[in-house]
Structure 1
Amino acid sequence: MKTLVKWTVTDYHSLIETGILGNRQVELLQGELVEMPPEGPIHSYITEGSVHYLRSLLQGLAVVREAHPITLSDSEPQPDIAIVQPPRQRYRQRHPYPQDIFWLIEISQSTLEYDLNDKKKTYALAGIPEYWVVNVRAHHIHIFRHPQSDDYLESLVISQGTIVSQAFSTIEVSIDRFWADI
């Protein structure tokens, strides 16, 4: 029987601090180190444009973080976009915890299966209230809300119109803005 070593968040931080991981792009997901593929140009372009758009919409209401870690009980993933509670100074000594997070967004070009399965399960287990996966190839957005155990009770796929996040009921997010200028 094969036994895998599970890493804690503390172990993971120690690995980072000692430089053992070097220049490797990894994230901790449910106690396992997962190598992250490099971003393609379209992934970077959509992420950058979406972050700019969301910051303009949510100015003063939320902090919009781009490709930075969040800390969960047994994971420290790096979602492409995290919309978290202000003020930004709150995250000077730590990454956002689940209770700080309004919603998370993954821009999925080559990682759709991973984002719709492993990441979704991890975020649901952590109680992240809302999770979006932007499917770059199909030009639609998967929206997951109301976590329960390791899944979400509500699941939608939207390809046009607007989305209203649970956290900000008066703000409409245009789906077209995710695809602007591509």
Structure 2
Amino acid sequence: MTVTTVKWSLDDYHRMIAVGILADRRVELLNGEIVEMAIEGEPHAYSRNEADEYLTEVLGSRAKVRQDSPITLPNDSEPEPDIAIVQRLGREYRSHHPYPENIFWLIEYAESSLEKDLDVKSKIYAEAGIPEYWVVNLKAMQLIVFRDPQNGAYASQQTLISGTINPLAFPDLAIVVEAILNP
């Protein structure tokens, strides 16, 4: 017996949301598959919230910091990154979630979802052309920085535990790594 899985399009996913099929579920669409999101523990919530406040202050009017909100990608994916740093488009986001061209960089905080964030999501984001993607490994207290998307993968990966990092979108801005890790 062969098992065939069904791939869902963005339109299918949006129709399911509109009619309430997914109302009581914490899910996201990844490569056409509806995937349950991990339950968020205290370290995850704390660190994400602190980083959100820090980045909002540091970025000021340069960018919008969105927390736990969907982004729409062309590879039948609509993930909900922990933090998305996007263009300030104001009310335009009433009619659509940020597209790849609106995204400066994404951040995921990971404990139980580490493997998914490092493997599955990094490929989805690279394939969509997201220029920069950060994963905070809450178990090891590391910031893993992915850059230079090429052929569905990031060509550059760097692991930081301290110091500063300059986002590609704002090279004049020094982000304190410890403020993102929040140990």
Question: In which range does the TM-score fall when normalised by the shorter chain?
Answer: over 0.9
State yes or no: 1:128 paired with 2:130.
yes
* CA deviation map 1:109-143 (0-9, x unaligned): 21110000000010011000000001111111110
Q: Which amino acid counterpart does residue 176 of structure 2 have in structure 1? A: S
Q: Which amino acid counterpart does residue 134 of structure 1 have in structure 2? A: V
* Aligned residue runs from structure 1 range 128-167, under 5 A: 128-167=130-169
The match for 1:99 is 101
Q: Which amino acid counterpart does residue 72 of structure 2 have in structure 1? A: T
The match for 2:22 is 21
Q: CA deviation at 1:169?
A: 0.6
Q: Which amino acid counterpart does residue 57 of structure 1 have in structure 2? A: V
* Aligned residue runs from structure 1 range 28-177, under 5 A: 28-73=29-74, 74-177=76-179
Q: Matches of 2:11 and 2:28 in 1, distance apart?
A: 13
Q: Residues 63 and 88 of structure 1 are in contact (CA less than 8 Å); yes or no, is this contact kept in structure 2? A: no
Q: Matches of 2:15 and 2:159 in 1, distance apart?
A: 39
Q: Residues 81 and 108 of structure 2 are in contact (CA less than 8 Å); yes or no, is this contact kept in structure 1? A: yes
SS in 2 for 1:14: helix
Structure 1 unaligned regions, length at least 5: none
The match for 1:4 is 5
Q: Matches of 1:41 and 1:23 in 2, distance apart?
A: 21
Q: Matches of 2:181 and 2:129 in 1, distance apart?
A: 29
Q: Residues 143 and 155 of structure 1 are in contact (CA less than 8 Å); yes or no, is this contact kept in structure 2? A: yes
Q: CA deviation at 1:25?
A: 0.4
* CA deviation map 1:4-63 (0-9, x unaligned): 110000100000010111310000000000001110011000000000000001111000
Aligned residues: 181
Q: Matches of 1:15 and 1:4 in 2, distance apart?
A: 17
Percent identical across equivalent pairs? 49
Q: Which amino acid counterpart does residue 124 of structure 1 have in structure 2? A: A
RMSD: 0.9
Q: Matches of 2:129 and 2:34 in 1, distance apart?
A: 21
Q: Which amino acid counterpart does residue 113 of structure 1 have in structure 2? A: E
Give the TM-score, by structure 1 length. 0.97
Q: Residues 103 and 131 of structure 1 are in contact (CA less than 8 Å); yes or no, is this contact kept in structure 2? A: yes
Q: Which amino acid counterpart does residue 159 of structure 2 have in structure 1? A: V
